[in-house]
């Protein structure tokens, strides 16, 4: 296993950032769109 504490902290911070990005990115992308605009979806 990884014994260096700095490497462990860097990996933990990286994984937390990736998790937060996955949680927040869909909400941001949904907020920027106006919903479905295809004719089949708007009728």
The label of the residue with tokens 């990286």 reads: 14
pLDDT at residue 24, rounded to an integer: 75
8 A C-beta contact, residue 10 and residue 2:
no
8 A C-beta contact, residue 21 and residue 29:
no
pLDDT at residue 10, rounded to an integer: 93
pLDDT at residue 14, rounded to an integer: 96
* Greatest Cα-to-Cα distance within the chain, rounded to the nearest angstrom: 60
8 A C-beta contact, residue 24 and residue 16:
no
8 A C-beta contact, residue 8 and residue 2:
yes
Query: If the chain, 43 residues long, is cut into consecutive pieces of 10 residues, what is the mean pLDDT of each piece?
Result: 84 94 70 64 60
């Amino acid at each position: 296993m990884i014994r260096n504490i700095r490497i462990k902290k860097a990996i933990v911070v990286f994984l937390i950032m990736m998790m937060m990005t996955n949680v927040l990115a869909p909400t941001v992308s949904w907020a920027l769109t106006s919903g479905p605009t295809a004719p089949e979806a708007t009728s």
